[in-house]
Amino acid sequence: MHPSEFIVCEHCDVVYQRADLIRKQSACCVRCGAELYRAPAMHLQTMLALVVTSLFLFVIANAYPLISMQMNGIDHASTLIDSVAAAWHSGVGPIAVMTALAVVLFPLTQIVLLGYLLTSLIMLHRDPPGFVDLMHALRLMRPWSMVEVYLIGALVAVVKMAGMASVRAEPGLYALGALTFLLALINAFDLRLLWDARDRLVE
C-alpha cells in the first residue's frame, strides 16, 4: 500500500483509507468528529475567478472611505488605512501594526499568492517557482487574516457614533462586506488541492 492512500485525522491521529467523495459530501473522523476532507466545492478555475474578483474588491475597500461622520459642519471620512495611521499616531503602535497585518497585509498577500499559484498551475500548466515556500506562507497567514472581524467592528463603530453625530456608510464599507463574503469562500478552500494539482502536473 502506498502511504498516499491514507488520510490521517489531524485532530486524533486515526488512519483512514481515502475514498472518493461526490459533490457536497465530506468525510468526518469517526472517533473525534473532525472533518477529514471534503469534496471540492468548486473547480480551481472558479476559485481563480473568485480570487481575481476579491483583489478588485480589496482595492475598492482600501481606496474608498468606509465611514464618514459629520459634526459642526465638518465632514470627516475615514478609510481603512486612516484607521491604521490614526492608531499609530494615537500612541498605540502595536494596535496599528496588528490592524495593518490582519486586515491589510495578510489578506492582500493571501489573495495575490493564491492568484499567482492558481494562474501558474491551471492556466499556464507550469510548476510555479517558489511553490513550497509560498504554500507554507499561505498556511501560516490564514488564521491571522481578520477582515470579517474588522467589518463587524466597523458596524459597531457606526452604531456607537450614531448617537453623537450623523454617521454614514461609504462605498468602501460595502466593498468590505462583499470582500468578507468572498474571503470566507477563499479561506474554506483546501490548500491540499493545490498540492495535489501540482503533483499531477509534475508527474
What is the contact surface with another protein in residues (CB under 8 A)?
Answer: 3-4, 6-8, 10-15, 30-34, 66-67, 69, 71-72, 74, 76, 78, 82-87, 90-92, 94-96, 98-99, 102-103, 132, 135-136, 139, 143-144, 146, 149-150, 152-157, 159-161, 163-165, 191-192, 195, 199
CA dist., res. 14 & res. 16, Å (int): 7
Give 33 or 171: the residue with its C-beta nearer to another protein.
33
- H-only helix segments in 27-105: 44-63, 80-89, 93-99
* Rounded Cα–Cα distance for residues 110 and 18 (Å): 29
- Closest contact distance (angstroms) between CB of 14 and Zn ion is 5
Bridge partners (DSSP) of residue 70 are 75, 166
In whole angstroms, the minimum distance from the beta carbon of 165 to another protein comes to 8
What residues line the site for Zn ion (CB under 5 A)? 9, 11-12, 29, 31-32, 34
159 binds, among Zn ion, another protein, none (CB under 5 to 8 A by kind): another protein
Q: How far apart are CA 105 and CA 81, in angstroms?
A: 11
Comparison of 46 and 90: residue with beta carbon closer to another protein: 90
- Distance between CA atoms of residues 90 and 77, nearest Å: 17
Q: Smallest gap, in angstroms, from Cβ of residue 143 to another protein? A: 7
User: Smallest distance, Å, CB 61 to Zn ion?
Assistant: 34
- In the complex, the smallest distance separating the C-beta of residue 3 from Zn ion, rounded to whole angstroms, is 12
Report which of 150, 136, 155, 65 is spatially closest to residue 102, judged by C-alpha positions.
150
Give the integer Cα–Cα distance in Å for 121 and 115.
10
